[in-house]
């Protein structure tokens, strides 16, 4: 692993451990990471659409993959452009739920749905993919939701239409952030500052198109 990739992975791990796992935003995150079921690839510069597709398919093809993350640390794209990339990838990999994570996201506690971008304030722009076959296990005993609908819900592409585990998790996260948002924001800011310092040392482009 090169120094540049090691720094990208280190910062991603900080976000996963110190934010996602510490505040239990995703109850399956820790098990996937510790079990070697999280697969990560890094794309440099401004990746072409085909590069996102190729990286995602390569990661999803690995036998142990439960969660795939394609990270673009040098991408100078605002959130709405990353959403367009997410939409493109989702149409071409219909076997996975796709969600975008972006470092530029303000806290909005108005509703659980509007909080989601803040929860996904990763150090670098990235796409997360989860096989639909695994998302099928999210179903509850009392609510039957089509597996494709589940992927859309968990990827932020659609609003849940009836109570299920995705609803419950969103509500729980909203309540937690409402209480702990100052501490969470402080940790995210510290990770962003760490990113600026470490990327400068490693020679990773810190583009000026983003606020952090």
* 60-81 residue pLDDT tens: 999 999 999 999 999 999 999 9
Kindly state the percentage of the chain with pLDDT values over 90: 75
String of DSSP letters for 27-86: TTHHHHHHTT-EEEEE--SS--HHHHHHHHHHHHTSTT-SEEEEE-TT----HHHHHHHH
Q: Is 110 exposed, middle or buried (0-12, 13-18, 19+ CB in 10 A)?
A: exposed
Residue 145: what pLDDT? 41
The mean pLDDT of 97-105, rounded to a whole number, is: 95
User: Domain ranges in the chain?
Assistant: 3-202
């Amino acid at each position: 692993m090169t120094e540049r990739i090691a720094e990208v992975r280190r910062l991603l791990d900080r976000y996963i451990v110190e934010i996602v796992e510490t505040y239990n935003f995703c109850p399956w995150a820790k098990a996937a990471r510790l079990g070697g079921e999280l697969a990560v690839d890094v794309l440099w510069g401004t990746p072409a659409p085909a590069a996102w597709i190729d990286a995602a398919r390569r990661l999803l093809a690995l036998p142990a993959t439960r969660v795939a993350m394609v990270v673009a640390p040098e991408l100078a794209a605002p959130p709405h452009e990353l959403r367009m990339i997410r939409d493109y990838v989702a149409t071409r990999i219909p076997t996975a739920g796709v969600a975008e994570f972006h470092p530029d996201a303000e806290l909005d506690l108005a509703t659980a749905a509007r909080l989601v971008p803040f929860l996904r304030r990763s150090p670098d722009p990235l796409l997360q993919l989860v096989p639909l076959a695994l998302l099928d296990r999210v179903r509850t005993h009392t609510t039957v939701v089509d597996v494709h609908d589940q992927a859309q819900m968990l990827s932020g592409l659609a609003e849940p239409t009836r109570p299920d585990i995705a609803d419950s998790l969103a509500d729980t996260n909203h309540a937690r952030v409402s209480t702990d948002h100052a501490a969470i924001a402080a940790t995210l800011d510290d990770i962003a500052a760490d990113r600026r310092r470490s990327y400068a040392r490693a020679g990773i482009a810190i583009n000026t198109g983003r606020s952090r």
